[in-house]
Structure 1
Amino acid sequence: MHTELTNPCHFGQTALTIEDVVDLAHRRRQAMLSPDPAFSRRIQAGADFVDELLRREGVIYGVTTGYGDSCVVNIPPSLVVELPHHLFTYHGCGLGRYLDPVETRSVLAARLASLVCGMSGVSWALLQGLEALLQHDILPMIPAEGSVGASGDLTPLSYVAAVLCGQREVFYQQRVQPAAEALASAGIRPLRLRPKEGLAIMNGTAVMTGLACLAWSRADYLSRLATRLTAINVLASDGNAHHFDAALFAAKPHPGQTRIATRLRQDLDSAQPPLNPDRLQDRYSLRCAPHVIGVLEDALPFLRQLIQTELNSANDNPLVDVEGGRILHGGHFYGGHIALAMDTLKNTVANLADLLDRQLALLVDARFNHGLPSNLSAAQGERAPINHGLKALQISVSAWTAEALKQTMPASVFSRSTECHNQDKVSMGTIAARDCLRVIELTEQVVAAMLIAARQGLALRQRVGLRAELQPELAQMYADLCQRIALVEEDRALDGQLRSLLVDIRNQQWELYGQQ
């Protein structure tokens, strides 16, 4: 166990939040099973109930029968113990990139969160196995592609099941190595899965849900950053703060939209006279920023509810109702709620990229930036003609924005019929989650570029005359940007700076608007 980690996250004690999963994914907290004896008894009762049914020769899908369309195939009692291992073996067909360590930890956390609900019929040893992977940071190499998001994330989660049994590969101690080797190094004995445990690990929504937690957190931060950047761009373009007046937004009181307008007033001190009294209205990308960012801001609470409900649900099949003495056959592995959340989130985040792209297009164009040099070039004197400022950066922002917008096609409408028409209506939730993360990644690239543009644009506005005082929080962030980013006077490559800023964005470097 990594003893340097404190503030444990107890599984089985209280419902997990998105923030819990994100903290676990980034190794800021440690996974621990609840020490409450009542919890361990509840888990054991589910495993005992499955054993009792097997002794009575009861019929349980995926335990005494084949899987999916093969549910009509009866498994001889002597082969029941082998069935879970066949399940993860034949699902070892994933392709694409491997989930990164942060994503993989989120998946492990999501799967453990579901199993501790106590309705999956698994043993305490299985829960301890998942706990150990998180504690020792033994990360299954999980291919990202191969799940249709119903009957669960079967193929990607098969890599978790296989690793618990000492098979396939893991990322451990900064290298890829055989799972058996890593488990031995950590003093962990491979599991022999009990009946039902293969299904319990694989037949659920952990991949899409874990990724959704990460996407939600990153999108929430992008909402805040886009707001702060908009405020800076209003100042840089000599725009008007009165577009964000409280009385104006009281007339159309969407809560998130109103919150964005309030944050902009906080940054712009709208009690002052208009920055530019000669221009009544700024262009939409500035004037309507609360309406654009506010859509995301209003969607986030609803999407949180969808994601956290899925996270804390028993979402495999069948479920074990110990108190009722029943095996419940259903479809809780269907990821439709996560699919909706991710399709919605990627749309609203892509609109942030588009908003900021339009703001940058105005700032670099001397016809529209109200007195700033073309391309925000800070070069002066005889060298000015050979310097090009942020000309190429604006092109890259346009490319990243276009790609983000292209990715907004909803995945959830592309249901396929699979597995001999047993899985004939599927959610595509995992594809939606991966698409959403890609849109977020592209939008973060846009934001990184806009941080450079904000530093450049505000410095140039100060050079020609800034009409307003910088408010404290905005001034603090601007000072920080000036420390990180040298003014672009002589042309220079910006890719290294952009990559550094992307790390800062993903680490949520700047505290924004009272962020906890």
Structure 2
Amino acid sequence: MIHTAQNNETQAIVHFGYQTLSLEDVVAIAKGAKAELNSSEEYHRYIQQGADFIDNLLKEEGVIYGVTTGYGDSCTVSVGLDLVDELPLHLTRFHGCGLGNTLSGMQARAVMACRLSSLAYGKSGVSYALLKRIALLLNLNITPVIPEEGSVGASGDLTPLSYLAAVLIGERDVIYQGVKQSTADVYAKLNIIPLKLRPKEGLALMNGTAVMTALACLAFDRAKYMAKLSSRITAMASLTLQGNSNHFDDILFAAKPHPGQNQIAAWIREDLNHHHHPRNSDRLQDRYSIRCAPHIIGVLQDSLPFMRQFIETELNSANDNPIIDAEGEHVLHGGHFYGGHIAFVMDSMKNVIANIADLIDRQMALVMDPKFNNGLPANLSGSTGPRSVINHGFKAVQIGVSAWTAEALKQTMPASVFSRSTECHNQDKVSMGTIAARDCLRVLQLTEQVAAAALLSMTQGINLRIQNNELDASSLTPSLAKTLTQVKADFSFLTEDRPLEHILRQTIDKIQRGEWEVCHSTQR
């Protein structure tokens, strides 16, 4: 859990060992919070007994998967005691074949936090020194360079996690002080001695779901924010279109009591000042992209609790194989590295998020079109008089929104149904959880781009209504007025055509940092 400590400045600290971590803890680590490992003698003994149990088994020449045998389909190959110490080194090295883009610094820190959480559970047979080293790297902000492609999600995230294991032993590359450098060079500068991995530690580091779980934690944080932001955008679209706020009435929604859906309706209703608005539409029914917005966004809001449960259970588990029960002196072979729960959450999340992109895309199409926007100029252009014929407002932005939405929708094919048999058919049914997580992050990126365009467009539309004396600025609710003020601080009213790429990128960055004010008095 997160605590704050007073040093020279307030510093968030996330504690590992005997504590249950939340999604927010992982996000805090990703954003720079410090990691603190339980330093009590009791916890130190608890962790160390797993490593000692492995040592004792080796002395008795016990057969331990991945310690005195090869890996995967090679589990029938015996490894002599004279080679046991080298086996973890070979595991990290032959998995060094990742490709594609590399994880961001935030993502890499989240991966480290998730792997530390799993190992700190105390069922992986690793040493206390290994846990301390991961915490040290986090606190020094030394992050492994991790290629994002190469995992099928069982046996866990083997290839991407090999990059963390390699850094612990002083190999491959890291990002330190914002620069990609060889791990060996950074260790030399800081007088850090590379770890020598104990017999099971290479396997324990790599044979788990830390990458997909880390990406899921970050995706959840962004999705939760998107539910609030898309509700705010819907209220702005309703005002721009002079919509009927009765569509969000509390009595209406009491008749269909999905809690998340009703929360979304309450947020939109609060933004529109439903019962006190001086002017309401005389149209009986708005189009679905306004009227049904709570039902669309509400699917995400109602899904968040089960998604949180799935992700946090995975986060606080020993997702490893074999499991080392030092107290009962058992080595338990199973499949806890399988990422099926994360795959399901990520496949589900990308579906509901893409639907929100599609919703906002439809809202954008309505406000741009004079046939549907109830008296506003085409493409929300602020140009008037003779120059209006050469100015095009948000025309190209709306085309971009359509493109981004189409790509988001295209990404919604579930990854988990594309299991592939790999590794001599040992891994013959795999989760594809990491691919699902990467897809989900891409859908979130595209949807955030759509939302950024909508924030600018709806601000323009509301300002046009105010300029035309069709809306009294004093009637705006404080929450909506604050969002408009925030947007207008960066974005001046669009009269003459100008490139909008820079402001779009700036707005997306602010969405991803959660800087747009989307709080309500009725937070769920």
Fold similarity call, TM over 0.5: yes
* In structure 2, C-alpha distance between the alignment counterparts of 1:5 and 1:126, rounded to whole Å: 28
Measured against aligned partners, the alpha-carbon deviations of 1:100-158 in whole angstroms (never above 9, x if no partner) come to 10110010000000000000000111111111111111111100000000011000000
Query: Shift of residue 244 of structure 1?
Result: 0.5
Counterpart residue identity of residue 329, structure 1: H
Is 1:6 the counterpart of 2:11 in the alignment? yes
1:16 aligns with 21
2:509 aligns with 503
> Contact 2:151–2:159 (CA<8 Å) still a contact in 1?
yes
State the secondary structure of the residue aligned to 2:122.
coil
Is 1:486 the counterpart of 2:492 in the alignment? yes
- Specify every segment of 5 or more residues in structure 2 that has no aligned partner in the other structure, as ranges: 1-6
> Contact 1:241–1:274 (CA<8 Å) still a contact in 2?
no
Is 1:227 the counterpart of 2:236 in the alignment? no
State which drifts further: 462-471 or 140-149: 462-471
2:187 aligns with 183
Measured against aligned partners, the alpha-carbon deviations of 1:82-112 in whole angstroms (never above 9, x if no partner) come to 0000001100111000111011001000000
> Contact 2:18–2:121 (CA<8 Å) still a contact in 1?
no
1:411 aligns with 415
Measured against aligned partners, the alpha-carbon deviations of 1:57-80 in whole angstroms (never above 9, x if no partner) come to 111100010000000001011000
2:3 aligns with none
State the secondary structure of the residue aligned to 2:276.
coil
Counterpart of 2:384 (choices 380, 386, 391) is 380
* In structure 2, C-alpha distance between the alignment counterparts of 1:363 and 1:21, rounded to whole Å: 39
* In structure 2, C-alpha distance between the alignment counterparts of 1:5 and 1:432, rounded to whole Å: 36
Is 1:146 the counterpart of 2:150 in the alignment? yes
Mapping for residues 250-269 of structure 1, pairs under 5 Å: 250-269=254-273
> Contact 2:245–2:280 (CA<8 Å) still a contact in 1?
no
1:68 aligns with 72
> Contact 1:227–1:260 (CA<8 Å) still a contact in 2?
yes
State the secondary structure of the residue aligned to 1:64.
coil
Mapping for residues 18-37 of structure 1, pairs under 5 Å: 18-27=23-32, 29-37=33-41
Query: Shift of residue 462 of structure 1?
Result: 1.2
State which drifts further: 133-142 or 275-284: 275-284
* In structure 1, C-alpha distance between the alignment counterparts of 2:277 and 2:74, rounded to whole Å: 73
CA separation of 1:5 and 1:209: change in aligned 2, threshold 3 A: farther
1:123 aligns with 127
CA separation of 1:3 and 1:67: change in aligned 2, threshold 3 A: farther
Counterpart of 2:166 (choices 146, 162, 183) is 162
2:253 aligns with 249
Counterpart of 2:482 (choices 473, 476, 482) is 476
> Contact 1:249–1:258 (CA<8 Å) still a contact in 2?
yes
1:346 aligns with 350
> Contact 1:239–1:275 (CA<8 Å) still a contact in 2?
no
Counterpart of 1:306 (choices 310, 314, 317) is 310
State the secondary structure of the residue aligned to 2:83.
helix
Query: Shift of residue 5 of structure 1?
Result: 6.7
CA separation of 1:94 and 1:3: change in aligned 2, threshold 3 A: farther
Normalised to the residue count of structure 2, the TM-score between the two structures is 0.96
> Contact 1:242–1:274 (CA<8 Å) still a contact in 2?
no
Counterpart of 1:395 (choices 368, 386, 399) is 399
- Specify every segment of 5 or more residues in structure 1 that has no aligned partner in the other structure, as ranges: none
Measured against aligned partners, the alpha-carbon deviations of 1:375-434 in whole angstroms (never above 9, x if no partner) come to 000001121111000000000000000000000000000000000000000000000000
Normalised to the residue count of structure 1, the TM-score between the two structures is 0.98
* In structure 2, C-alpha distance between the alignment counterparts of 1:102 and 1:441, rounded to whole Å: 15
Is 1:136 the counterpart of 2:133 in the alignment? no
> Contact 2:244–2:282 (CA<8 Å) still a contact in 1?
no
CA separation of 1:114 and 1:356: change in aligned 2, threshold 3 A: same
Counterpart residue identity of residue 16, structure 1: L
Query: Shift of residue 14 of structure 1?
Result: 1.2
Alignment RMSD (CA, Å): 1.4
2:240 aligns with 236
> Contact 1:240–1:275 (CA<8 Å) still a contact in 2?
no
> Contact 1:268–1:470 (CA<8 Å) still a contact in 2?
yes
Counterpart residue identity of residue 17, structure 1: S
> Contact 2:12–2:28 (CA<8 Å) still a contact in 1?
no
> Contact 2:271–2:477 (CA<8 Å) still a contact in 1?
yes
State the secondary structure of the residue aligned to 1:432.
helix
* In structure 2, C-alpha distance between the alignment counterparts of 1:277 and 1:24, rounded to whole Å: 47
Mapping for residues 415-434 of structure 1, pairs under 5 Å: 415-434=419-438
State the secondary structure of the residue aligned to 2:170.
coil
Q: What count of residue pairs does the alignment treat as equivalent?
A: 514
Counterpart residue identity of residue 490, structure 1: E
Q: Percent identity?
A: 59
